[in-house]
């Protein structure tokens, strides 16, 4: 008599391996189809297109939801000196929101006989070939500098001057008043003064309580404009109070 061994349906290890392979394949399919970033919003842009931002951080062709790496996106965005990465939000399963800030050319400064455009933090954005290219920017005078390079903060020698410079620029930006002034002088950081486009010199003293000082000065300047007064000195060193000394019209 011949005995035959009964065939088994298969080793449990083989079935386990097949199950793992099946689950892995399913995960890949879901990762590449269902869980894929399909909608990206970029908040904070003014002049730069969202498409340009997405190209910089490798998102122009989409990416898996689980493959998003914040550090790569941050580095990609920050490579553009006009952009600052400020954060991101992922919304499962296919949405991504990026928060950025655009640097604006607000001020200009002369360093070693060359003009540079910068933002309110003294971050250099462009080197100008001609002074005419600085039109529309408030001029920074009296700032002792070493060098200027696009993509970097101005290299300076006096911290108090730099602090005064950025404090005034930031407050003018908050008040949307940069276009009312042609120059800020920080040679003496304890006696900062502005020159208005109409020709007035406004003494601010120390760069403290700037909001009250500038609001007061701007209110007086509006009054002067009503009477077509174009020169003089305005002492706005005391918050909420200003005195005027006529100039030679």
**DSSP code per residue over 156-223:** ES-HHHHHHHHHHHHHHHHTT-GGGEEEEE-SSTTSEEEEETTSEEEEEESSSSHHHHHHHHHHHHHH
Query: So where are the chain's domains?
Result: 33-102, 107-246
Output the CATH code of domain 33-102. Answer: 3.10.20.310
pTM of the model: 0.83
Q: Which of 19-23, 72-76, 105-109, 133-137 shows the lowest mean pLDDT across its residues?
A: 19-23
Say what percent of the chain tops pLDDT 90: 67
* Domains 33-102 and 107-246 are alike in CATH topology: no
Q: Is the pLDDT of residue 134 over 80?
A: yes
Q: What per-residue confidence (pLDDT) applies to 7?
A: 47
Tokens representing residue 142 in the block: 């009296």
Q: What is the mean pLDDT of residues 121-141?
A: 94
pLDDT digits (tens, 9 = 90+) for 23-56: 555 445 444 554 578 889 999 999 999 999 999 9
Output the CATH code of domain 107-246. Answer: 3.40.50
Q: Is the pLDDT of residue 18 over 80?
A: no
């Amino acid at each position: 008599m011949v005995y035959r061994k009964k065939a088994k349906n298969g080793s449990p290890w083989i079935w386990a391996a097949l199950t793992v392979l099946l689950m892995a394949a399913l995960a890949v399919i879901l990762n590449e189809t269902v869980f894929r970033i399909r909608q990206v919003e970029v908040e904070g842009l003014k002049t730069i297109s969202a498409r340009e931002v997405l190209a910089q951080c490798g998102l122009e062709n989409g990416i898996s939801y689980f493959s998003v790496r914040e550090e790569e996106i941050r580095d990609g965005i920050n490579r553009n000196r006009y952009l600052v990465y400020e954060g991101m939000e992922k919304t499962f399963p296919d949405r991504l929101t990026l928060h950025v800030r655009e640097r604006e050319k607000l001020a200009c400064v002369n360093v070693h006989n060359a003009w540079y455009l910068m933002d309110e933090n003294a971050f250099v954005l462009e080197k100008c070939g001609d002074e005419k290219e600085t039109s529309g920017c408030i001029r920074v005078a009296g700032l002792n500098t070493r060098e200027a390079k696009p993509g970097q903060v101005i290299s300076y020698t006096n911290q108090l001057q730099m602090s005064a410079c950025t404090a005034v620029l930031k407050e003018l930006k908050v008040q949307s008043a940069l276009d009312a002034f042609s120059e800020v002088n920080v040679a003496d950081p304890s006696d900062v003064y502005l020159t208005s486009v109409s020709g007035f010199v406004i003494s601010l003293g120390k760069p403290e309580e700037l909001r009250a000082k500038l609001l007061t000065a701007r209110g007086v300047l509006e009054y002067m404009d009503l009477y077509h007064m174009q020169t003089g000195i305005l002492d706005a060193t005391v918050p909420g109070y200003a005195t005027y000394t006529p100039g030679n019209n």
